[in-house]
Structure formats: C-alpha cells, structure tokens
Structure 1
Amino acid sequence: MVTYIQNFIFAYVATIGFAILFNTPKSALLKAGFGGAVGWLLYSFINFKSDNIVLATFIASFFIALIGEIFAITNKKPITVFIIPGIVPLVPGFGIYFTMLSILEKNYTKAAQYGSEALLISISIAGALTIVLTLNSYRKKKQPIKIK
C-alpha cells in the first residue's frame, strides 16, 4: 500500500514537472498532475496483477484521456493541456533506449524484442487516446444548419 502511495506522489510531481516544461497554464497544473498520477497508479496496479505491460498501458492511457476530457470540459481548456503531460510517464523511453543499445551491440534478437514491445506500448497509447477522443467527437456533434 505504501508503494502505491509513493508511486502516486512521484507520478504527480513528475507529471507537474512535464506540464511546466510544456507551458501548461498554472490553473491546470494540479489537474494535469492528478491525471498523470491516477494513470500511473492504474498502470502499476494492472501491470502487477496481470504482468501485461501493453494492457496496463492501454487502460492507464484510456483513463488519463477520460480524466483529461472531464477536466477540459469543466475548465474550458484544450484537452491536450491535461493529457499530454499525463501520458509522458507511460511513454516507453526505456524500451527505445534498450532497442538502440542492442542494435549498437549487434544483439538483434534483443533489439527486436525491446523494439516490438516499445512499438506495442506506443500503439496502445495511441489507440486508447483515439478511442476516447472519438467518443468525444460524437458527443459534440451538432445538428446541421438548415437553409430556408
């Protein structure tokens, strides 16, 4: 339990750091941090229970996008203000790094392993964001203007 609380706090601070780096408005910093921290907490829990990093990343990205959507509607700010900093902790930087390192070491089997995992994680992030943003586009659909 303590580990999850620590993960939440560290992810919260890290997400706020990325939000500052991306020039997020001051009024949205704490909410962006909350979205990233909840996403990381979900990611950690699901990855621990299922040992499936791609599924954990997909579900965490999905909830980060949902939280960002709610904050964007309530605060009247663009959704990117909330989801971009929240997604950054989930980006598979370690996988991409180890892919390049394995290529330099001419260990192509490990490079393929790390590279395919990083690619699947990236696709799961993109897929989750696409699903949430698509659902939102249906909500915003307005009636066509009738010309008399």
Structure 2
Amino acid sequence: MIPTLLNLLEVAIWSGIAAVGFAILFNIPRKAIITVFLLALGAGFIKFVLLDFHINIILASLTAASFVGLVSMPLAHRIHLPPVVYSIPAVIPMIPGYFAYETVLSIMSFIFLEVDVPKRTALMQDIFSNGFTMLFILISLTIGVSLPLLLLRKNTVKKIKR
C-alpha cells in the first residue's frame, strides 16, 4: 500500500511540475504559480488514484478536471485572477498524448506500410479505439473544466461562505 501511495504521489507531483511549465509558458502572474501546481497535483492525484482502482480513464479524467473547475472558482475570487489562469494549465498535463501518438502511428502504418488484410484490419481497430479514447478524454476535460465555470458564475461564487 505504501509503495503504491508513494508512486501515486510521485506521478501527481510530476503533473504539478508539468502544469507549472505550461503556466510559465502562458506567462501567468507569479502569485498564481503555486496555486496552479497544487491544483495540478490534486487533479493528477485524483486521476491516478481512480486509475489505480481500475476506473475508466475517461471517467477519471472527467473527475479530475471537475475538481480543477470547482476549486479554481473560489481561488480565483480569493486571489483576484480569472479562473482560467488556474484551470487551463492545471488540466494540460492530462491531455492524452499517448492515445494521440498511437492513433497517428496506426494511421501511418495503415496508409503507408501494411498490405496484409488482417493486419490492416487490426490497425483500423487500433485507429478507432485509440482515436475515440483520445477524443472522449478531451471532451471530458473540456466538460470537467468548463461546466463548473459556467454554472458557478461570479455572483454565486462570491456568496459561498469562506
């Protein structure tokens, strides 16, 4: 249990570091960098804990992105910056690069390399499997971040007790 928890914490810390890199790339204010790190660390921890419990990656990404969207609203009003400053860099490390890479690799092999029909059929299955997984993860990240931002408008968030 302890090694698994330490591994999950390590991956979450790397998610936070990646988010800080994107935050610096986006030139956000310095006072927001620690908050972006903590949001990405929390989102990464939630996602990888759910994946450790064998929850689907799409649902785990949606849950982690919803955490970012919900927590970024009160933080934005407390620190007086738009919530997008926190939420977008914190979610970028969860973009499914592996599935995008595998999709493109399968497309390239299907088009240029493979002539055997059974192998082409397997490549077609990989294209659709990885492509739709990537698409649904991106949709879940979008919904998870934007839905709380749309539902909790400025007026309603300020009424939340601190």
Q: Secondary structure at the match of 1:50?
A: coil
**Residue 24 of structure 1 pairs with residue 28 of structure 2:** yes
Distance of 2:71 and 2:37 partners within structure 1: 11
**2:82 corresponds to which of 73, 78, 92:** 78
In the other structure, the counterpart of 2:68 is: 64
Q: Count the aligned residue pairs.
A: 141
Q: Which blocks of at least 5 consecutive residues in structure 2 are unaligned?
A: 111-122, 158-162
State the one-letter code of the partner of 2:49: F
Q: 1:107-127 deviations in whole A, cap 9, x for unaligned?
A: 221011100000111111111
In the other structure, the counterpart of 1:145 is: none
Q: State the structure with bigger RCO (CA 8 A, min sep 6), 1 or 2.
A: 2
In the other structure, the counterpart of 2:119 is: none
In the other structure, the counterpart of 2:53 is: 49
State the one-letter code of the partner of 2:156: R
In the other structure, the counterpart of 2:137 is: 121
Distance of 2:8 and 2:129 partners within structure 1: 29
Q: 1:15-73 deviations in whole A, cap 9, x for unaligned?
A: 11111111111110000111011000000001111331011000000001112112111
Q: Secondary structure at the match of 1:34?
A: helix
In the other structure, the counterpart of 2:106 is: 102
Structure 1 residue 92: Cα displacement: 1.1
Distance of 2:68 and 2:107 partners within structure 1: 33
Provide TM-score, normalisation by structure 1: 0.89
More off after superposition, 56-65 vs 119-128: 119-128
Please provide the CA RMSD for this pair: 1.6
**1:36 corresponds to which of 40, 59, 62:** 40
Conserved in 1, the CA contact under 8 Å of 2:106 and 2:126?
Answer: yes
Conserved in 2, the CA contact under 8 Å of 1:32 and 1:68?
Answer: no
Provide TM-score, normalisation by structure 2: 0.81
In the other structure, the counterpart of 2:151 is: 135
Find runs of 4+ consecutive structure 1 residues off by over 2 angstroms: none
Conserved in 2, the CA contact under 8 Å of 1:43 and 1:56?
Answer: yes
Conserved in 1, the CA contact under 8 Å of 2:58 and 2:137?
Answer: yes
**1:12 corresponds to which of 4, 8, 16:** 16
